[in-house]
Structure 1
């Protein structure tokens, strides 16, 4: 009953990374101005007495979730796969006061978007589902995660 509506909020953050073992320039530490589109799906609230009447989710609430889980963590951080020798570089940078993030995966856009989906899904209200994520690394390159591809 009722219509499912998709709601999208866009975010941006600056993150550095290096791809250990990669055979191109991205093996070097470098950064991107990432853009993240977060799309959730659900039914608008029909209770006229509800403070969020007519909304699937308040954009402000979605913003809080994504900022806490993703943007505030990754913005102006340098991300390394902790299961590589980059962990030594990460320790050196950390000791010098840099914001370093160690993850269990190669920090490609593909793997980051999987991590982001897991983190966002666990924070959404039960009546809201994560529909998709689009993580844009450059003007012409992005990775997408869709719920229906990952059942």
Structure 2
């Protein structure tokens, strides 16, 4: 049985570990971050409940991959959050999606592609050495649409 141990002294760079030891590997790694937002919308040319104005608490899951940098990080989770907050969420959270998104039927299938494109563009236009692998957009806890890199580029 292992006992609880109190750390007496934190490991120090250049004493206990060298900077060139921080990068353990040079493999591609996928990191994931999720966000939620609340929004209203309705669907055009659709016969069902969703033709009426209604709302959802959406969940977005990003899968972003890249090679780790010299300290072992693909992209800081805080940077993903910054992109989300400043470039994507402002168009979505507590909005009437039919007005704030480009002209489209505001289906989860259309929205997930738009979200993928926005994140991918933000990563390409900055100093990040990573890419979007997938985006999942949950409209309900059990229903989601997904855009994957291979589908976006090859079809």
Q: TM-score range by the shorter chain?
A: 0.7 to 0.9
1:104 Cα deviation from its structure 2 partner:
1.4
SS at match of 1:149: helix
Match of residue 113 from structure 1: 112
SS at match of 2:47: coil
Map of 1:1-151 to 2, 5 A cutoff?
A: 2-46=26-70, 53-80=71-98, 100-124=99-123, 125-151=127-153
8 Å contact from structure 1 (residues 12, 71) kept in 2: no
Give 4+ residue runs of structure 1 displaced > 2 Å after superposition: none
State the distance in 1 between where 2:141 and 2:117 align: 25
Q: Which runs of 5+ in 1 are unaligned?
A: 47-52, 81-99
8 Å contact from structure 2 (residues 39, 95) kept in 1: yes
SS at match of 1:103: coil
Which deviations, in whole Å up to 9, do the C-alpha atoms of 1:3-31 show, x marking residues without a partner?
Answer: 10001011000010000121101000000
Which deviations, in whole Å up to 9, do the C-alpha atoms of 1:107-150 show, x marking residues without a partner?
Answer: 00000011111111111145111110000000110000110122
What value does the CA root-mean-square deviation take over the aligned residues? 1.4
TM-score by length of 1: 0.79
Q: How many residues align?
A: 126
8 Å contact from structure 1 (residues 16, 77) kept in 2: yes
Q: Which has more radius of gyration?
A: 2
